[in-house]
Structure 1
Amino acid sequence: MRGYDESVAFLGQWGPFQQAVFFLLCATIVPNGFGAFTLVFLTDLPSHHCAVPDVNLTEDWLTAVIPRQFDLVCSDQWKLTFISTVFFVGVFLGSFVSGQLSDRFGRKPVLFATMAVQISFTFFQVFSTSWIVFLVLLFINGLGQISNFVAALVLGAEILTGNVRVLYSSMGTCLSFAFGYMLLPLCAYFLRDWKSLLLALSLPGLAFLPLWWLIPESPRWLLSKGRVEEAESIVRKAAKWNKVQPPAVIFPDYAVNIKADPKDRHSALDLLRTSSIRVTTLVLCLVSFAACTGYYGLSLNTSRLHADPYVSCFISAAVEVPAYVSGWLALRFLRRRRSICFTLLLEASALFLIQLVPQNLPHLSIGLEMLAKYAVTVTFSMMFAYMAELYPTLLRNTAVGICSTVGRLGNCIAPFLVTLNIYLRHLPYIVMGTLAFGAATSVLFLPESFGKPLPETIHQMQKRERIRCPCIPGGEARVPVELQDGPL
């Protein structure tokens, strides 16, 4: 049976249709960049005193001189860290649910539903009357955060083919995220009031509504559901955009295959059903957890990079640009396992070396921290593309969503992790470095996907399993004979 890539090869890889899908989906990811790190400024501590001496000051004078904005200082300062954790718990739950909804109802509806949640509840936060209301709205906002990113990533990875898919899955999506991240300190610098900042970050989201009529559903997903006519309709429109002539029947083999196996249904349990897929899923969960913990831990620790928090945030965001370019080049020319293992070891080495830097060399510590941020960002950018390449269409978004969900546990602990330095100065770096080293070792047990087409079925995923034993040079663990490639 011909694969999807072969069936749509007549479209080419970079026609007007692919260009529109590429840039429109990238545009939907930009709000995630500033949405994920808005808390850096929303939870920033202003200059204050925890007690004002009683010198016969009137209540009216105190109210006029001392701004309250929820008064989250001194004995209530713990609420700032709690706010960040509640947001990331929302991200955690959203990642878990959205992946399964996307595999059941389609990539496009979930993409726009999570965008709507993200945009609307960012706007509703402006009208919060207490920190409890703000907390609830922020939690719901978190449900849409990153879920939009994952849905857009999978949708583009399934529509685009060849080198364009690799470019989109790595540098395209991640640079869009970084662009939004770099816009954040610029907006925050000119809009010092938190309500004005949230308005500025939410209202432009209305411009994304017309994209519903421009971004198509994933033909791969439609084929996996047996909706061959709808998939062919999308591809024929793409052919018209690209000014090429489609064949009379684009997916004849898919129609036969679906009719022959009408009971082919899968669930999240399939990610743990066989030993080879179970190992792949568990390792990816571990790597995602380590990458998210390191990425958000270092990103939320930007206040120590520079006296000006706006400069600190911009430096942290700017480091991501060369990291995403490096990630794309690695995906384009290098094997996935070796590249991810190397970047995780680089992150771990930089974090461990920070402990050896004397206190009178703060710039060297900052340089090592930025090297670690660069390394974990490269890992982060490669992991989404790698996960999408390993799983079949029917499970792809569920798999990416669940692995991302486990990774979001790292998001939840990151706000507390960066505060561990009150007990031991370098404890956050030790924890993140240890996680990175453990993840680097586990990556060696993953199969390689470099230069291979996306699997359409679980059997195709199993067929290319090659779990090497890291302790034996060139060694491979045995897999069932019927799952091996090539003639018997």
Structure 2
Amino acid sequence: MKDYTHSIAFLGQWGRFQQVIFFLLCISIVPNGFGAFTLVFLMDMPNHHCLVPEGNLTEEWHEAIIPMKMVNGKQERISCSRYKLDVVRNLSAQGFVPGRNVNLTELQQERCVDGWSYSKDIYQSTLVSEFDLVCSEQWKQPFTSTVFYVGVVFGSFFAGQLSDRFGRKPVLFATMAVQTAFTFAQIFSVSWLMFTILLFFNGLGQMSNYIGALVLGAETLTGNVRVLYSSLGTCLGFAIGYMMLPLFAYFIRDWKPLLVALSVSSLVYLPFWWFIPESPLWLLSQGRVEEAEAIVRKAAKWNKVQAPRVIFQDYNVDETKTRPKEHHSVLDLVRNSQLRVLTFILCLVSFNMIFGYYSLSLNTAHLHADPYISAFLSAAVEVPAYISSWLALRYLPRRVAVIGTLLLEAVPLYLIQLVPQSLPNLALSLEMFAKYSITTGSSLMFAYIAELYPTVLRNTATGICSTVSRLGSCFAPMLLQQSMYYKYLPYIILATMAAVSAFAALFLPESFGKPLPETLQQMPKIERLKCPCITEKETPKAAGALLEGPL
């Protein structure tokens, strides 16, 4: 029986139909770049100190009422306390001058009972200044990010299964709508609790949209175009959104107008519904052969090629209609030892990659004193990583590429602690190279996972692996806190986890130069421990098949 790729080979790989699908799906991922790091600006903490009411204070006392502390050799105002206002007012009324006839260190202090005064040098307003998430309420800042990533985890878990059950296209657009609607709804938050609840639902659509677009494109496109889309196209769409975020934030420095701009700009995706079709491969897996053929015939018209009289001649329409439909769930991923081991290894590698990616991204966000420049630099380094990922997917066996990126992350992180303090730029270069490597590997994994599972389980498996990997983003801030005890401990942990993942990846099957499996029986088997190189079955001819046709 012909596989799907050979059945639609008459369309070619890069006609008008493929171009429309490629670019529209890539554009649909741009909001994910916005959403993934919007909290960097929404939850940033402006410089602040206790608010001092006007009146009954001389100018000297008004300036001196906030205690000072030494930070990195510079005097800065304390953020969470002030000298007792009643005492200061009495001293001011009696003509005492601070620092001259009053020892400020002997005065009692009190909390910021009148609120805080926030600097507007960088932001007009953030959630921190809006809801006073400072001092005793400062714990709400990291907790807010955790709630968002928990929403991402739940969205990744359920969206994959819903997509396998109800189709790629409906779930893709539903998650885009969820993301846009709840981003806009956050504008009307009247409390931190309300904002956090809405943010959770926003997170449900965040990564689900990415996974839906990735799988839909991977199943619709073929050959080199599939590789280009799965690696470079989707990831560059994300990176473009990430790089655009600091530009939006730079010109819109108030959190509410920023959310308006980000949500309204997503409305441009509404017309995409009429141009992006359902995955013909998914329709075939559901026995809906006529619908699949209709889409392919429309694609043939767009590409100006002649479609055969019967496109999917090996699919019996009457049989597929009368045959009971076989539904699959997450339980199918653990029904036998092969699937259990494969899923475990892929989840382990994916978790460690995302854990490393977010840990290094959050750490390198402080490269520059200007948060807008920091965010842009953190995004820009991902562009060469995604290009490297595309080249690796096109020319290298998958296991070699995955293991290589993990080792290239581990080695620089181990070496950082050997760099003398007199060479900070060298340590920074090693850390940035590690982020480049892990970003490349994270991009590889999305395409690799999609290639290993059959059509009936592809979105479920991709969603599960993404769900597990997203847990890494929740734990990343906790890892960075360990630097308070030992500066290099986070680097050692990340490097060790990368090395363990590289060893586990030795057992993964190879998918380079092979067609996408459509059934459980066509899935590749777990490898025995051996050198991750091209085997006898993976001859140069097989590897070259990637350049000629299907994966």
TM-score calculated relative to the size of structure 2: 0.82
Contact 2:405 2:437 (C-alpha < 8 Å) held by counterparts = yes
Return structure 1 stretches of 4+ with deviation > 3 angstroms: 54-58, 61-68, 256-265, 470-476
Is 1:392 aligned to residue 422 of structure 2? no
Letter of the 1:368 partner, please give it. Answer: L
Equivalent position to 1:301, from 353, 357, 363: 363
**1:258-273 equivalences in 2 (<5 Å):** 258=320, 262-273=324-335
Q: Which residue matches 2:132?
A: 71
Structure 1 window deviating more from structure 2 (75-84 vs 161-170): it is 75-84
Contact 1:89 1:139 (C-alpha < 8 Å) held by counterparts = yes
Q: Which residue matches 1:429?
A: 491
Equivalent position to 2:472, from 410, 423, 439: 410
Contact 2:288 2:320 (C-alpha < 8 Å) held by counterparts = no
Letter of the 1:86 partner, please give it. Answer: V
Q: Secondary structure at the match of 2:315?
A: helix
Structure 1 window deviating more from structure 2 (253-262 vs 45-54): it is 253-262
Q: Which residue matches 1:128?
A: 189
1:474 Cα shift?
9.1
Letter of the 1:467 partner, please give it. Answer: E
Structure 1 window deviating more from structure 2 (261-270 vs 387-396): it is 261-270
Cα distance per residue 1:264-309 (max 9 Å; x no partner): 3322222112222221111000011001101111112233312222
Contact 2:172 2:209 (C-alpha < 8 Å) held by counterparts = yes
Cα distance per residue 1:344-392 (max 9 Å; x no partner): 0111111121222223322222211111110010001110000110010
CA 1:39–1:247 in structure 2 vs 1: closer, same or farther (change >3 Å)?
A: same
CA 1:64–1:371 in structure 2 vs 1: closer, same or farther (change >3 Å)?
A: closer
CA 1:63–1:181 in structure 2 vs 1: closer, same or farther (change >3 Å)?
A: same
Q: Which residue matches 1:47?
A: 47
Rounded to whole Å, the distance in 2 between the matches of 1:424 and 1:92 is: 30
Q: Which residue matches 1:88?
A: 149
Q: Which residue matches 2:285?
A: 224
Rounded to whole Å, the distance in 1 between the matches of 2:533 and 2:267 is: 55
Percentage identity across aligned positions? 66
Rounded to whole Å, the distance in 2 between the matches of 1:220 and 1:425 is: 50
User: Who wins on radius of gyration, i.e. which is larger?
Assistant: 2
CA 1:248–1:475 in structure 2 vs 1: closer, same or farther (change >3 Å)?
A: closer
1:446 Cα shift?
0.5
Rounded to whole Å, the distance in 1 between the matches of 2:530 and 2:415 is: 26
Q: Which residue matches 1:335?
A: 397
Rounded to whole Å, the distance in 2 between the matches of 1:116 and 1:339 is: 35
Q: Secondary structure at the match of 1:300?
A: helix
Structure 1 window deviating more from structure 2 (63-72 vs 377-386): it is 63-72
CA 1:474–1:180 in structure 2 vs 1: closer, same or farther (change >3 Å)?
A: closer
Equivalent position to 2:530, from 470, 475, 478: 470
For structure 1, the 5+ residue unaligned runs are 477-488
1:254 Cα shift?
2.1
CA 1:445–1:460 in structure 2 vs 1: closer, same or farther (change >3 Å)?
A: same
Alignment RMSD: 2.2
1:46 Cα shift?
1.2
Letter of the 1:11 partner, please give it. Answer: L
Rounded to whole Å, the distance in 1 between the matches of 2:321 and 2:192 is: 55
Letter of the 1:266 partner, please give it. Answer: H
Q: Secondary structure at the match of 2:29?
A: helix
Rounded to whole Å, the distance in 1 between the matches of 2:411 and 2:377 is: 21
Rounded to whole Å, the distance in 2 between the matches of 1:395 and 1:174 is: 23
Equivalent position to 1:97, from 158, 171, 178: 158
Contact 2:31 2:238 (C-alpha < 8 Å) held by counterparts = yes
Q: Which residue matches 1:115?
A: 176
Contact 2:407 2:502 (C-alpha < 8 Å) held by counterparts = yes
CA 1:274–1:248 in structure 2 vs 1: closer, same or farther (change >3 Å)?
A: same
Is 1:322 aligned to residue 387 of structure 2? no
Give the length in aligned residue pairs. 474
1:25 Cα shift?
0.3
CA 1:248–1:428 in structure 2 vs 1: closer, same or farther (change >3 Å)?
A: same
CA 1:470–1:132 in structure 2 vs 1: closer, same or farther (change >3 Å)?
A: same
Letter of the 2:157 partner, please give it. Answer: F
1:419 Cα shift?
2.0
Q: Secondary structure at the match of 1:52?
A: strand
CA 1:223–1:363 in structure 2 vs 1: closer, same or farther (change >3 Å)?
A: same
Letter of the 1:402 partner, please give it. Answer: I
Contact 1:108 1:155 (C-alpha < 8 Å) held by counterparts = yes
Contact 1:289 1:406 (C-alpha < 8 Å) held by counterparts = yes
Cα distance per residue 1:153-211 (max 9 Å; x no partner): 00000000011000000000000000001011111112121112211111111111111
Is 1:373 aligned to residue 435 of structure 2? yes
Rounded to whole Å, the distance in 1 between the matches of 2:392 and 2:291 is: 35
Structure 1 window deviating more from structure 2 (250-259 vs 423-432): it is 250-259
Q: Which residue matches 2:109?
A: none
Rounded to whole Å, the distance in 2 between the matches of 1:65 and 1:136 is: 27
Higher relative contact order structure (alpha carbons within 8 Å, sequence separation ≥ 6): 1
1:124 Cα shift?
1.0
Letter of the 2:26 partner, please give it. Answer: C
Q: Which residue matches 1:149?
A: 210
Letter of the 2:241 partner, please give it. Answer: G
Contact 1:85 1:415 (C-alpha < 8 Å) held by counterparts = no
Rounded to whole Å, the distance in 1 between the matches of 2:535 and 2:389 is: 27
Q: Secondary structure at the match of 1:288?
A: helix
1:453 Cα shift?
0.6
Letter of the 1:5 partner, please give it. Answer: T
Letter of the 2:186 partner, please give it. Answer: Q
Rounded to whole Å, the distance in 1 between the matches of 2:384 and 2:302 is: 33
Rounded to whole Å, the distance in 1 between the matches of 2:234 and 2:416 is: 31
Considering fraction of residues, name the structure with more helix. 1
Cα distance per residue 1:43-80 (max 9 Å; x no partner): 2221122123333599xx96695473111112222211
Equivalent position to 1:277, from 321, 339, 350: 339
Rounded to whole Å, the distance in 2 between the matches of 1:259 and 1:54 is: 80
CA 1:360–1:78 in structure 2 vs 1: closer, same or farther (change >3 Å)?
A: farther
Q: Secondary structure at the match of 2:512?
A: coil
Structure 1 window deviating more from structure 2 (29-38 vs 295-304): it is 295-304
Rounded to whole Å, the distance in 1 between the matches of 2:21 and 2:532 is: 44
Letter of the 1:315 partner, please give it. Answer: L
TM-score calculated relative to the size of structure 1: 0.93
Equivalent position to 1:197, from 254, 258, 263: 258
Q: Which residue matches 2:57?
A: none
Letter of the 1:343 partner, please give it. Answer: T
1:473 Cα shift?
9.4
CA 1:217–1:138 in structure 2 vs 1: closer, same or farther (change >3 Å)?
A: same
